[in-house]
Amino acid sequence: MKAVVTSVTLNQATPLGHRQYLALALPLIISGISTPILGAVDTAVVGRMPVPAAIGGVAIGAVIFNTMYWLLGFLRVSTSGFTAQAEGAKNENEMLASFFRPAILAVVFGLLFIILQQPIINIALPLIGGTKEVSAYAETYFTIRIWGAPFILVSYVIIGWLIGMGKVKLALATQIVMNVLNIILDIVFVMGLGFGVAGVAYATLIAEVSAILFGILVIVKTNKVSFSKLKLSMLLEAEALVKMVKVNRDLFLRTVCLLTMTVIFTAKGASMGEITLAANAILLQIHYIMAYLIGGFANASSILVGRAIGGKNEALYKRAYFLSAQWGVLTVVLLTSVIMLFGNELVSFFTTITAVQETAASLLIWLVIFPIVGFWGLLLEGIFSGATEAGPVRNSIFMALLLFIVAIWWLVPTYQNQGVWLAFVIFSLGRSVFLWLHVPRLTRGKFMSS
């Protein structure tokens, strides 16, 4: 069978080569890195304030929201995978259901977060740690931004559905609208009007509300699937519901493990003082940009794998796998070169505080190592998500978390913050190796005739 893929909008079949793969991947890369760039701008704007506690407060506030939202990151990932498979099989009813099932969940969870906001902040701040001043900034940030919870979660579904349908440029436009608006409002509220940490939170809240309004408008105006055909029986179809629950459960548990690692990492930095916490926060922002850049290729492969499985096209599946590997290696070379050549300049962008700059500079070697050991795990997660096989993803992250906990316990007493970063690199390596071991079984399971 010939490996084929459509253009960026997946309307016309053409051979799947590097140009076609990049035409799909590049908008997803831009969309992906726009998310950590948003966080990076938040950190950079607050970094212009003369107190490290403000950077730490936003960092801790961001960890709380990342914990909440990343736990529900399956809303985007599974929506994309199920939608891609439905589109590959040309099943219009399932295309509709793959949007509305997770959208209902998104609204319910968003409202629960608002209702439970006080218990969440009361538990999270003592758990993460930090000084009284840092905690005060974090609480200010949290109590404002929490009102955007239903909007940001529904936007996950919108973006995931658009990506699964192959409308990557529209997904990109939705995310760019949110992030550009956030950046503009950050600068206006914080640097222009002097609102400080509260200004960063208000900017994010307004941007999140605007994104969902724009996304809904995009779907209504451009979608060719008839929403008038939607019926309750489609949403309640037993087999599809069971599969969605299983996949989302596994992705949820995967995220629990990932966020457990992130919270431990942040808490260890917080216990070593405001300077260390601020330096770690800056390097984590750079790490997120690197991870999301690689994740753009993972998202492209997720679409292609979903289409390949839905359309029973093994050649397309294998081609997507090898193109992911090739472009992943090239991306690693680019990222490591940038950090080695311009690492200090990147740190200086985030803060003008000399002590924070010096501490962060001493840790840059770990950002050079991270993409080398971590890129394959990130790419493979895209492939497994497109196949809607989340069990191996869950298991591999769990094993990597165990390695991380052992490494933290063993390394930190001797190496302090350097030990924290070494444990993080060990986690990233384990994430790649453990998931790679599941690839042969995935291929056999999806294409039994091969």
- What is the DSSP secondary structure assignment for residue 49, as one 8-state letter? S
Nearest Cα to 308, choosing from 316, 300, 297, 299?
316
- The phi, psi pair for 170, rounded to 5°, reads -70, -40
User: Which amino acid is residue 388, in one-letter code?
Assistant: T
- Whether residue 43 contacts residue 58, with contact meaning beta carbons closer than 8 Å, is answered with yes
Q: pLDDT per position in the chain (450 positions), as tens?
A: 444 444 444 444 455 678 888 877 887 777 666 665 666 677 677 777 666 777 778 777 877 877 777 677 777 777 777 777 777 667 677 777 778 788 888 898 899 999 998 898 888 887 776 677 777 888 888 889 889 889 888 888 888 888 777 777 787 788 888 888 888 888 888 777 878 788 888 888 898 888 888 888 888 777 655 666 666 665 666 666 676 777 778 888 888 898 789 889 988 888 888 889 889 988 988 888 888 888 888 888 888 888 888 777 888 888 888 888 899 999 999 999 999 999 999 898 888 888 999 999 999 999 999 999 999 999 998 899 888 788 899 999 999 999 999 999 999 999 999 999 999 999 999 999 999 999 888 888 776 644
Residues in the chain: 450
395: tokens are 């298991």
> Cα 226 to chain center, whole Å?
30
Strands (E) across 256-305 are located at none
Residue whose entry in the numeric block shows the structure tokens 């961001």 = 62
Tell me the C-alpha distance between 362 and 279, whole Å.
Answer: 10
304: tokens are 């292609």
Instruction: State the burial class of residue 237 (Cβ atoms within 10 Å of its Cβ: 0-12, 13-18, 19+).
Output: middle
SS3 4: strand
* CA separation, residue 290 to residues 282, 286, 295, 297, 324 (Å): 13, 6, 9, 12, 16
- Written as one string, the DSSP assignment of 99-141 is HHHHHHHHHHHHHHHHHTHHHHHHHHHHHH---HHHHHHHHHH
Give the pTM.
Answer: 0.73
User: Which residues pair with residue 14 across a beta bridge?
Assistant: 5
Domain boundaries, the chain: 4-446
